[in-house]
Amino acid sequence: MIDTYYREMGTETVYINSILGLYRTLKRIWNRNIVVVSDNWYVRGIASCLNIMTAIATKTQLAAEQYFAMKDALLLLAMKNIPVYYYNRIGLEKAGFVYSDSAQNRMKNHLNFPLMYEKMEQYEDDLKELFGELYSKEYLTEIGRIPQVIEKGNEYRHEDFASKYVNVIEGQRVVCYQPEIYKRTIHVYGRCGAFGYAVEDKNSLPSQIQLQLNNNGIIDIRVVNHGLWGGEDEYLEHNFLNDCVGYKEGDIILFYMMHIDKRLLRHWEEAGVKYKEITHEWHEYPEAKWCFYDKPGHMNHIGYQHVAEIITADLIKQDFAGKSVDKALFADFNSEYLKAYLKKNNNSDFYKEINDYTASIQKEYPLTGDIKECGSIVMNCNPFTKGHRYLIEYAAKQVDRLYIFVVKEDKSFFKYEDRFEMVKQGTADLENVVVVSSGKFIISSLTFPEYFMKDYVKEKNFDVSMDVETFCKHIAPPLQIKKRFAGEEPFDPVTLNYNENMRRILPKYGMEFCEIPRLALDEKRVINATEVRRLLKKRDFDTIKEYVPETTVRILREKY
């Protein structure tokens, strides 16, 4: 694969691991238009001294695997009529463009935002120019708080984060101005330019594209930010390769990245990518003389607004259509490289851990022959109430086994250990009920972070499909779960949204969603855990007894 990869790039390779092998090869063939690929640094060192290109074998293998998988992915999207656009990230204007004195100074001294952020007082004049009326030390402090890029599950993503100006949900930065109802989605991939370099959510490139679409009367398209600030290109390609198989007709893929190698571009364009160089067009704006940090690609909010105007205008001009692809390329196409890549990389820690998680449940609670159908309920139980007990009793009658997944995240009023014990003791008499931990795969910071950020997401309708689909694909099948039960939610919009997503997604995986009305004490009072927590603060155990089982009362008295 490495040899074929370099051949398509117009270069021959020699894979050698020993110095003797290098000597024999060079004695036989003195050709400098080759790449010596080896994991032996002595070999690479000698080749470099001879002015021969060198490469590390392990890294080249990954590059080759991603290259061929990308070709497959692009052809797959072309077959689905999914357009792919590539807009290069803005670079230096080469035709004698004159930048402002301040911009030239920033370029000369490599004054990027992180550097100036650490020394705000020293670079105050530059920061005031770039941020304008937004400038204040407090504002910059908030803007500079960027969550790290980490590997979670089978993807690279930013850590979930909530602040006034920078918010990341399920690894993706929040895009503002999104329509509530949409028919199509634009997926934006890129590094800091896509994520939003030193700008708040509403001024990132994806948010500005969304705003431009809305302003042009196009209100049926949603924009999603897949950007990684600090992520490598190989991370972005890896994420895209994992995402691409799930994209459907009507979706639009948009890359905003550095100039692509012309040899790669040739193959990408053959597979349907529409490439556009936008550096010159961006420099026609007067603000281009100064609206950036150490280089034009690292720009302020005004620069992103202009990039969004250029890209949106081009998308509208193209009518969001894909590039025509030679149908002969589809004849024997079976996406073998993409499948091989996904198969190899799906054996990640995430999938190993989730398999271990379900295996441990199966080991502790074997599925015997008399268990034909299983159901499940996911509960936080903060604390365990008579309402929870009522829901469990109802569901337990509908199935042979009922799994109760207690949310493990310790971000509630009551500790996980105490909540788990409340459920365990409160259901001990129900023979077909199994109480287990949700682990980090069900309603967790990994799969459903907005559940623990309710103060921020109360007014928003976020996509929680990752959590539901993880359950459907990886947890329900080995545990033979065919039904998922949930209590009706009249108060909390986040949980209401989650229930609506279950109602929509579960049937796609052959599962039934059952929503049960809440238990009421009387016409005016519905049992809910929030009221119990309020009563607990007042130490009103007499009233608490009306809401919770005796087992919960004992734990509350003992520990709280």
Q: Which CATH architecture has domain 349-559?
A: 3-Layer(aba) Sandwich (3.40)
Q: What is the pLDDT of residue 177?
A: 97
Q: d(Cα 487, Cα 514) in Å, to the nearest integer?
A: 8
For residue 212, CA distances in Å to 29, 215, 217, 376 come to 58, 5, 9, 44
Q: What is the pLDDT of residue 455?
A: 44
Q: d(Cα 229, Cα 490) in Å, to the nearest integer?
A: 39
Q: What is the pLDDT of residue 38?
A: 82
Most confidently modeled of 169-183, 201-215, 325-339?
Answer: 201-215
Give the pLDDT confidence of 422-465 residue by residue, as tens digits.
999 999 999 999 999 998 888 876 666 656 554 444 444 566 77
Q: Are 194 and 205 in contact (CB under 8 A)?
A: yes
Q: Do 349-559 and 68-109+176-328 have the same topology in CATH?
A: yes
Q: What is the pLDDT of residue 491?
A: 66
Q: d(Cα 93, Cα 99) in Å, to the nearest integer?
A: 9
**pLDDT(199) > 50:** yes
Domain parsing of the chain, residue ranges: 2-55, 68-109+176-328, 349-559
- Better-scored residue on pLDDT, 524 or 56: 56
Measured from the Cβ of residue 32, the count of other Cβ atoms closer than 10 Å reads 10
What DSSP string describes 451-474?
Answer: GG-HHHHTT-----HHHHHHIIII
Taking residues 222-243, what's their average pLDDT?
Answer: 91
Can you give the length of the chain in residues?
560
**pLDDT(166) > 60:** yes
Query: Worst-scoring range by mean pLDDT, 242-246, 270-274, 404-408, 519-523?
Result: 519-523
Residues 6+ apart with CB under 8 A from 217: none
Residues 6+ apart with CB under 8 A from 210: 175, 176, 177, 178, 222, 223
Average pLDDT, the chain: 87
Q: d(Cα 417, Cα 438) in Å, to the nearest integer?
A: 12
pTM of structure: 0.63
Q: Which CATH architecture has domain 68-109+176-328?
A: 3-Layer(aba) Sandwich (3.40)
Give the pLDDT confidence of 501-544 residue by residue, as tens digits.
898 888 877 889 999 887 877 666 677 777 888 888 888 888 88
**pLDDT(348) > 70:** no
